[in-house]
Every structure is written in C-alpha cells, then in structure tokens.
Amino acid sequence: MISFVWAEDNQHQIGYQGHLPWHLPADLAHFKEKTMGKTMVMGKNNFLSLPFVLPKRKHLVLTHDEALIEKFQNNSQVDFVTSMKQLREYLSAHKEEQIAVIGGVSVFEGLKDIVDCLEKTEIDGIFKADTTMPAIDYSAFKLIKRETFTADENNPYDYSFLTYLRK
C-alpha cells in the first residue's frame, strides 16, 4: 500500500526553505507512527532536510546527485532511484510493502495517480511558506478517520489528523 504522509496549513502550504514552517510535536509523533518500519519515499531535498537517517525505516530517495548516492552507498537504510520511471517500477515490484511517500512536491505529483491512502495533518494556521502541496482529487478517496485536537502547552496550534482511502 502506498500512503502519502504530510502536514499542511490552511493554504495547503507544506514547507519553507527546505523545512517545515511550524513546530508541532504531535505531528512529528504522528509522522513517526505512520512511517516506522516502512519504506519512506522522498526526493533529495526532503532527504537532506532530515536531521539524520531515521531509525527503523528504509529511505528511498529520488535523485540524480551522484555525490549523494556515493556518500550513502554503504548505508543499508538508504537506496536511490534516479527517475520517476525507476521509482514507479520499484513501487510496482513492491506492491505488498507498506510505502510512505513523504515528499517533496514533485514526488507527490508524480505518484498521486497511484496512491492508496492519504495521511494528512491539517494545521489550523497560515505560515510563511514557499512550497504548496499538489492538488489531490479528494473525490477519489473516502475519509475514514478524523481526529481533531486543540492547541496546548506543547502544541501551539489546533490540528487534525485525517486518513483517506482510495475508493
């Protein structure tokens, strides 16, 4: 199953200068829960924005950057594909695996026709951002779960976790 896992604000913004525009510990924990033990698919910039190779997850990175590929060639947690075609072939060959696509925009855009599940965090706010989530045809999905939370001492914004499955 292929899932998209992301957080967005009220204007569908998802990033600023290669990082999240907000700090929301509950969403980071949710991200960890939704990706743990899975293969995470991401573009080069998303990979570079991670603080380190995340434990107990395979990182499949779409890039042409030979130096980056060489740098991680001996890391069993990190694999690379160099084209969307190669990425789609990988996903087709691993249909039984749990795959978590975590961005960026070009990866979401390139796979939105084959995603099975959407794991979206909606953050109630508008943030300074330079990256917008690609449009998704929600009519092709059914909302199966929504959890809404109010801001607290650890999480400064109201937020919701939504799960959609393809119809």
**DSSP secondary structure, 130-145, as one string:** SEEPPP--GGGEEEEE
Q: What is the mean pLDDT of the segment spanning 111-127?
A: 98
Average pLDDT over the chain reads 97
Other C-beta atoms within 10 Å of 77: how many? 13
* Strand, coil or helix: 26: helix
Could you write out the three-class secondary structure of the chain? CEEEEEEECCCCEEEECCECCCCCHHHHHHHHHHHCCCEEEEEHHHHHHCCCCCCCCEEEEECCCHHHHHHCCCCCCEEEECCHHHHHHHHHHCCCCCEEEEECHHHHHHHCCCCCEEEEEEECCCCCCCEECCCCCHHHEEEEEEEEECCCCCCCCCEEEEEEEEC
**Rounded to an integer, what distance in angstroms lies between the CA atom of residue 54 and that of residue 36?**
9
Entry pTM = 0.96
What is the per-residue pLDDT for 115? 98
Q: What is the mean pLDDT of the segment spanning 57-73?
A: 97
What is the per-residue pLDDT for 151? 98
C-alpha R_g of the chain: 16
Q: What is the mean pLDDT of the segment spanning 24-40?
A: 98
The per-residue pLDDT for range 40-61, each reduced to its tens digit, is 999 999 999 999 999 999 999 9
At residue 166's C-alpha, the angle toward residues 92 and 119, to 5°, is 90
Please name each of the domains of the chain with its CATH number: 2-166 (3.40.430.10)
What is the per-residue pLDDT for 76? 96
- Measured on CA atoms in the order 54, 119, 64, 17, is the torsion positive or negative? negative
